[in-house]
Amino acid sequence: MSVTFPRGHKVIFLLDIPGRNHKKRCRVKQVCEVGSIAPYMADDATVMDIISTTLATLASTVAMDLATFQSTFLWAIIIGFILAFILGFGMGANDVSNAFGTSVGSRVLTIRKAYILATIMETLGAVLLGYNVADTIRKGVIDVSTYADQPEILMIGQIAILGGGSMWLLIATFAKLPVSTTHSIVGATLGFSLMARGTQGIHWFKIVEIIASWVISPLFSGIVACLIYLAVDFAVLRRKNPLECGYTLLPILFFLIFVFNAVAVLLDGSKVLGLEGLPTHTALGVSVGIGIVAALLAQFALKPWLRKWVEEKAAAANKASEAANNISVIVISKDGEKVSEAISTSTSVTQSSTDLDEISREQPFDWTVKGFFKWLVPHKHRIEDQKTLYMFSSLQVFTACFAGFAHGANDVSNAIAPITALISIYSDMNVQQTAPTPIYILFFGTTAVCIGLWCLGHRVIKTIGDRVTEVNPASGFVIEFGAAITAMIASKLGLPISTTHALVGSVVGVGIVKSGEGVDWVVFRNIAMSWFITLPASGIIAACIMFLLGFAI
């Protein structure tokens, strides 16, 4: 006979009834000693009464055992929440800063506005799409069944993971290194497991798959960003009237971005939100409908407002420029005749700049391989139309939000995976962790992330935006778009990639396609080195913490 107790194990005991050819052998694992019923002669009803009494006693024993377990390891839950908050805090100060770094670097957003948008979009991304990646981190890196006989080891291991990841993130943040939370968590998981069980139970194929995704993601993101930039350059930037071409492209961009996001959220969606059973045709139909609505709003609401805003911003910039020229002339000259002469010169310079702008956008096509690439790649010193850049600056705010949503969907899930595992094991002592990630844990993680962003995000937010390459609104738009697409695809596939990698890959990709313009390879080398250091550094810290915690078990 078999029953399931609160602990989650099947309790089976021995029946030996003389005179009957009926013998069931069962074993109680990790719960109590094998029970048996002494030989006797009785009818089936009496036997069942004794069995029921025995089962009730065993259930009471198991319940007490679970209560004792929870009382003994309550400290682990408290410390786990503290460390999970520190980890989220460190990620907010480091990783989220990268997601909005290009917007701040191109002077489109102030740091304060970037923080507000990041808070909203990170939360939405984690809640709507953060379920797949958390499962990979919780149960994909190591074989949790290895710890079935000692669930407390796996539970304490989550403390080591949180400690190793959070300590390294804070060290990297104060060193102004944009490292990856994903690297930190995976490295810490390996460090704890190697200390607790050696190489036993580690899914090495999954580790190789994850590490390969870290190499592939910046390459893929860079390629996507290159292709998008070339498309934007060909369709808008190099045209004789780039501003009008940009306005024409606006509803198409909104349609594609909203459809992409809606499909990611609705197709095989979150179990917590009840979206996992949504039929494919329904998800696609709703997504297309959302995209059409977004395109119509862009065409009939955003475009008229954007035209007015661009003209006002351009007029204000021209007025400020003229005022600066007039003031500079007045200061250096007291002769009215010379003042008027200087103003005239300034006007002629402006006109010549306009002529140069038109000439520099012309790229004739040549039917040779060299000529083709010369035509394909934009001129390095091309002077972009200022009004077009103003338009892209408004669009870059939108793609920055897209990037923040993607970051919340991927990286925030990595941060809350250990505390989710900790709570699951603490609740029923079952290492399999079959329950989905609770929504309150997702909110807890995003709260910690946003507090870290507001407190320390300024230390890293300018590294990618300013130091890797020169970023204008058009290239910033493409960088965030390419990185967000990469991160969203990975989130849907359950791959814990690094959005830091994706963003830096996009930045370098756009810098290269712009004829190598402004790419600071020394800074890029330092960032890449910090990526490679993260895995062993967080692993060593987690292993040391696990060694010390071993004395508490």
Give yes or no: residues 507 and 446 share one domain.
Answer: yes
- Local structure of 26: helix, strand or coil: coil
174 and 128 share a domain?
yes
Based on the fold, state whether residues 213 and 79 are members of the same structural domain.
Answer: yes
Residue 255 belongs to some domain of the structure: no
Backbone phi, psi, residue 475, to 5°: -70, -35
| Strand locations in 431-535 (E) | none
Instruction: Give the CA-trace dihedral at 274, 279, 281, 283, to 10 degrees.
Output: 10
Question: Which is nearest to 464 in space by CA: 157, 94, 87?
Answer: 94
**In the structure, what pLDDT confidence band is assigned to residue 462 with cuts at 50, 70 and 90?**
low
Secondary structure (3-state) at 140: coil
CA-to-CA distance for 382 and 365, rounded, in angstroms? 17
Pairwise pLDDT comparison (361 vs 285), residue with the higher score: 285
Question: Is the domain of 25 the same as that of 87?
Answer: no
Q: Are residues 350 and 388 in the same domain?
A: no
Q: Which of 70, 88, 114 is the last residue of a domain?
A: 70
Statement to judge: residues 178 and 99 lie in one domain: yes
Helix 204-232 to helix 473-493 angle, to the nearest 10 degrees? 150
- Residues 74, 65: Cα–Cα separation, whole Å: 14
Residue 177 domain-assigned? yes
Q: Which tens digit of pLDDT belongs to each residue from 43-66? A: 555 555 655 655 554 444 444 478
Give the max Cα distance, the chain: 128
What sign for the dihedral angle of Cα 101, 107, 109, 110? Answer: positive
Alpha-carbon span 220 to 486, nearest angstrom? 7
Report the distance separating Cα 345 and Cα 280, nearest Å.
65
Do 416 and 437 contact (CB within 8 A), yes or no?
yes
**pTM metric for this prediction:** 0.69
pLDDT at residue number 4: 43
- What is the domain range of residue 351? 308-376
- Give the tokens for residue 483: 């990185």
pLDDT tens per residue across span 183-228: 788 889 999 999 988 888 888 887 887 778 777 888 888 888 889 9
Q: What pLDDT was estimated at residue 516? A: 56
- Counting the structural domains of the chain, the total is 3
What's the confidence (pLDDT) of residue 11? 45
Could you tell me the pLDDT band of residue 272, with boundaries at 50, 70 and 90?
Answer: low
Tokens of 27: 């074993």
Give Cα 377 to chain centroid, integer Å: 31
CA 85 to chain CA centroid, nearest Å: 17
Boundary of a domain, candidates 12, 37, 70: 70
> Is residue 160 included in any domain, yes or no?
yes
The SS3 call for residue 238 is coil
* Residue 384 pLDDT: 77
Total Cβ atoms within 10 A of residue 412: 30
Q: Do 212 and 98 lie in a common domain?
A: yes
pLDDT score of 179 more than 90: no
What does the block give as tokens for 241?
A: 């009237």
pLDDT band with cut points at 50, 70 and 90 for residue 39: very low
Helix (H) / strand (E) containing 50: helix 44-72
Give residues with Cβ within 8 angstroms of 413, minimum separation 6: 126, 130, 131, 132, 133, 134, 137, 437, 445, 491, 496
Identify whether residues 82 and 188 lie together within a single domain. Answer: yes
Give yes or no for a contact between 374 and 366, defined as CB atoms under 8 angstroms apart: yes
Same domain, 473 and 500: yes
The pLDDT-based confidence of 159 (bands split at 50, 70, 90) is very high
Confidence of residue 271 (pLDDT cuts 50, 70, 90): low
End position of a domain, from candidates 317, 351, 376: 376
* Nearest CA among 306, 218, 314 for reference residue 254: 306
Kindly state whether residues 447 and 505 are assigned to the same domain: yes
Query: In the Cβ-directed half-sphere of 175, how many Cα atoms lie within 13 Å?
Result: 13
Q: Which residues contact 287 (CB under 8 A, 6 or more apart)?
A: 258, 259, 262, 263, 266, 267
Q: Could you give the CA distance from residue 139 to residue 141 in angstroms, rounded to a whole number?
A: 6
